[in-house]
Amino acid sequence: MTPSPRLRVVFAGTPEFAAQHLKALIEQCAQDPEHTPFELVAVYSQPDRPAGRGKKLSASPVKVLAEANGIPVYQPENFKESSDRQILAELKADLMVVVAYGLLLPKSVLDIPLYGCINVHGSLLPRWRGAAPIQRAVEAGDTNTGVTIMKMDVGLDTGDMLLKASCDISPSDTSASLHDKLIELGAPALLTVLSQIAQCAQENRELKGESQDDSLSCYARKISKQEASIDWNLSAEVLDRQIRAFRPFPIAYTLHKGERLKIWQACALTENSSAAPGTLVALSDEGLEIACGEGRLLLNSIQIPSKKAMSVKDLLKGYKDRFVINELLGQ
């Protein structure tokens, strides 16, 4: 199979992070179709899943965007069926671009496109290989991160790195804000790499990448809902990072009077308390001060059952007797 004048690109992705990268490719093709070195021939996304309170089947952000732009969409459960691999082969793709697709592609799929598959990963590899690199970077207290465009192989985020772009993680960053920062880095980085691959194809050579140092790797395991329960025996600094890491999902919480109190925003205070961890030691318009294993955590924005998240100041206007000094949270 010989390359076409423009790279025939298949895009594979599922959530909003992937959709924003697909949007950049679509806009590039629309703005300068004659000089854009690639064309989008198809999109792959995860099958529609139940979502919302009604558990109705919901299309992924990538599928919605692709269909709105008239791009064919394929949604195999996986590629175990030979018929699914055959459909991909019949697209005669030069390259597959994978962004948060949600499937670990086998070698039989990676080998189908002429130039293989590349991936946009939300960390500076080899740090934070795995499903939740953005959240784990915030949780760990990393001060910088970025995106890596890599050539995919059969390992988990182990392929040669083609391009890296970095940014700082601020002390106030949540997973949501960092997610948006990485989109701003990843989309132009992807366009750059596509241009480089197209240029190499015209010159009948391969774009070489940098191999990863496996000894520096760490694993970003998938976020679970169970992790969202606050352990007040931990330090205030650790809890602050967890709260920011778990926003917008799954949202950190503690029990209060037998009900879940969701914590949307907090900050760590260095002053220690002699009270047991989880004790409400101070209350003001600034927030609720909770004793921790080390330091205190000031809860600024919280959510009580059946209400929206709001500042403690606003919450106390209607529920001033809900919280009592020296009561214990977490039970």
Mean pLDDT by 10 residues, the chain (331 residues): 77 98 97 91 96 85 98 96 96 98 95 97 98 98 98 96 98 98 98 96 94 97 95 98 97 95 96 95 95 98 94 90 93 79
Domain end, chosen from 184, 201, 220, is at 220
71 in any annotated domain: yes
pLDDT of residue 56: 87
Same domain, 78 and 182: yes
Residues 319-330 as b or e (16 or more Cβ within 10 Å = b) = eeeebeeeebbb
pLDDT of residue 32: 86
Closest CA to 266 of 138, 142, 136, 172: 172
**Nearest-angstrom CA–CA distance, 1 and 229:** 53
pLDDT of residue 33: 85
Contact of 292 with 234, CB cutoff 8 Å: yes
- Residue 120 CA from chain centroid, whole number: 11
Domain end, chosen from 220, 253, 270, is at 220
Same domain, 109 and 129: yes
Same domain, 186 and 239: no
Give me the number of domains the chain comprises: 2
Q: What are the tens digits of pLDDT across the range 213-270?
A: 999 999 999 999 999 999 999 999 999 999 999 999 999 999 999 999 999 999 999 9
Same domain, 53 and 125: yes
329 in any annotated domain: no
Contact of 98 with 156, CB cutoff 8 Å: no
Same domain, 257 and 124: no
216 in any annotated domain: yes
Same domain, 136 and 28: yes
153 in any annotated domain: yes
CATH at 176: 3.40.50.170
67 in any annotated domain: yes
CATH at 251: 3.10.25.10
Same domain, 195 and 235: no
pLDDT of residue 262: 97
Domain end, chosen from 220, 243, 276, is at 220
Q: Coil, helix or strand for 148?
A: strand
326 in any annotated domain: no
1 in any annotated domain: no
Give me the domain span that covers residue 157: 7-220
330 in any annotated domain: no
pLDDT of residue 200: 95
Same domain, 20 and 88: yes
Q: What are the tens digits of pLDDT across the range 275-285?
A: 999 999 999 99
Same domain, 240 and 186: no
Same domain, 29 and 104: yes
Same domain, 163 and 291: no
User: Rounded to 5 degrees, what angle do the CA atoms 91, 82, 71 make?
Assistant: 30
**CA quadruple 172, 173, 177, 183: dihedral, nearest 10:** 140
Question: Which H, E and C letters describe 84-110, residue by residue?
Answer: HHHHHHHCCCCEEEEECCCCCCCHHHH
CA terminus-to-terminus distance, the chain: 64
Same domain, 206 and 308: no
